[in-house]
Structure 1
Amino acid sequence: MLFDHLFAKHLGGQHILRIEDTDRTRYNEESEREFVETLHWVGIDFDEGPHVGGPHAPYRQSERKEAGIYAEQIQILLANGHAYKAFETPEELDEMREYQKINKLSTGYYGGKWRDATPEQVSEAEASGKPYVIRQRMPRDVKIVTQDAIRGRVEVDSNLLTDPVLIKADGMPTYHFAAMVDDHLMKITHVLRGDEWLPSFPMHWTLYEQFGWEKPVFVHCPVIVGTDGKKLSKRHGATRVLDYGAQGYTKDALKNFIALIGWSPGDEREVMTEAELIEAFSLDGMQPSPGQFDIEKLRWLNGHRIRKMDPNDLLDALLSFARDPYTESYWATFVDENPVPNKPPIDGKEILRKLKLISDTATNDRPYVLAALKEEQQRVQTLADFGEAMEFFLVEEPEMDEKAIAKWFKEPHVPELFDWILAKLDESRVETAEHYETIVKAFQSHKGLEKLGPVVHPTRVALTGKTAGPGLFELMAVLGHDRIERRIRRAQGML
Structure 2
Amino acid sequence: EDYRAKGFFKEALVNFVALLGWNAGDDREFYYLNELAEKFELERVNKAGAVFDIEKLNWLNAEHLRAKDPADLIEPLKAELNSAGIDFSGRSDEYLKSVIIAMRERVSFVKEYIEKSPYFFLPVAQYDETSKLKNWKPETGPQMLRLKEEFAKLGENPSKEEYEVALKLVATELNIGAGKLIHPLRLAVSGMPAGPGVYDILVILGKEETINRIEKAVSIL
TM-score, normalising length from structure 1?
0.42
Shift of 1:400: 1.7
Shift of 1:379: 1.1
1:184-239 per-position Cα deviation (integer Å, ceiling 9, x unaligned): xxxxxxxxxxxxxxxxxxxxxxxxxxxxxxxxxxxxxxxxxxxxxxxxxxxxxxxx
Does residue 138 of structure 2 align to residue 379 of structure 1?
no
Among 42, 52, 56, the residue aligned to 1:283:
42
Q: Quick check: 2:144–2:181 contact (8 Å CA) kept in 1?
A: no
The aligned residue for residue 453 of structure 1 is 179
Alignment gaps of 5+ in structure 1: 1-241, 324-351
Q: Quick check: 1:371–1:478 contact (8 Å CA) kept in 2?
A: yes
Q: How many pairs were matched up?
A: 220
Matched residue of 2:206: which SS? helix
Matched residue of 2:8: which SS? coil
The aligned residue for residue 480 of structure 1 is 206
Partner Cα separation in structure 2 for residue 258 and residue 246 of structure 1: 17
1:244-301 per-position Cα deviation (integer Å, ceiling 9, x unaligned): 1111111001111111012111112111111111111112211122211111111111
Partner Cα separation in structure 2 for residue 322 and residue 485 of structure 1: 25
- The 3 A distance-change label for structure 1 pair 486 and 249 is same
Partner Cα separation in structure 1 for residue 173 and residue 51 of structure 2: 56
- The 3 A distance-change label for structure 1 pair 310 and 398 is farther
Identity, in percent, stands at 31
Amino acid at match of 1:460: R
The aligned residue for residue 262 of structure 1 is 21
The aligned residue for residue 407 of structure 1 is 134
The aligned residue for residue 93 of structure 2 is 366
1:424-476 per-position Cα deviation (integer Å, ceiling 9, x unaligned): 123123421111111222233333435x4332111100110000111100110
Amino acid at match of 1:267: D
Does residue 180 of structure 2 align to residue 421 of structure 1?
no
Partner Cα separation in structure 2 for residue 362 and residue 287 of structure 1: 50
Q: Quick check: 1:404–1:466 contact (8 Å CA) kept in 2?
A: yes
1:349-390 per-position Cα deviation (integer Å, ceiling 9, x unaligned): xxx42xx32xx3057533322222221122100112122133
The aligned residue for residue 388 of structure 1 is 115
Shift of 1:321: 5.6
Among 244, 249, 253, the residue aligned to 2:3:
244
Shift of 1:397: 3.1
The aligned residue for residue 434 of structure 1 is 161
Q: Quick check: 1:373–1:390 contact (8 Å CA) kept in 2?
A: no
RMSD, matched Cα = 2.0
The aligned residue for residue 316 of structure 1 is 75
Partner Cα separation in structure 1 for residue 28 and residue 89 of structure 2: 37
Q: Quick check: 1:247–1:383 contact (8 Å CA) kept in 2?
A: no
Partner Cα separation in structure 2 for residue 472 and residue 485 of structure 1: 14
The aligned residue for residue 59 of structure 2 is 300
Partner Cα separation in structure 1 for residue 169 and residue 183 of structure 2: 15
Shift of 1:316: 2.1
Partner Cα separation in structure 2 for residue 303 and residue 385 of structure 1: 11
Partner Cα separation in structure 1 for residue 99 and residue 58 of structure 2: 22
Q: Quick check: 1:300–1:381 contact (8 Å CA) kept in 2?
A: yes
The structure showing larger relative contact order (alpha-carbon pairs under 8 Å, at least 6 residues apart) is: 2
Amino acid at match of 2:38: E
Amino acid at match of 1:293: F
Structure of larger gyration radius: 1
Shift of 1:313: 0.9
1:16-61 per-position Cα deviation (integer Å, ceiling 9, x unaligned): xxxxxxxxxxxxxxxxxxxxxxxxxxxxxxxxxxxxxxxxxxxxxx
Amino acid at match of 2:199: F
Amino acid at match of 2:142: E
Greater strand fraction, Structure 1 or Structure 2: 1
Shift of 1:406: 2.1
Greater helix fraction, Structure 1 or Structure 2: 2
Matched residue of 2:51: which SS? strand
Amino acid at match of 2:117: M
The aligned residue for residue 189 of structure 2 is 463
Partner Cα separation in structure 1 for residue 154 and residue 29 of structure 2: 49
Matched residue of 2:107: which SS? coil
Partner Cα separation in structure 1 for residue 203 and residue 145 of structure 2: 19
TM-score, normalising length from structure 2?
0.90
Q: Quick check: 1:253–1:301 contact (8 Å CA) kept in 2?
A: yes
Runs (4+) of structure 1 exceeding 4 A deviation are 320-323
Q: Quick check: 2:186–2:198 contact (8 Å CA) kept in 1?
A: yes
Q: Quick check: 2:81–2:114 contact (8 Å CA) kept in 1?
A: no
1:67-89 per-position Cα deviation (integer Å, ceiling 9, x unaligned): xxxxxxxxxxxxxxxxxxxxxxx
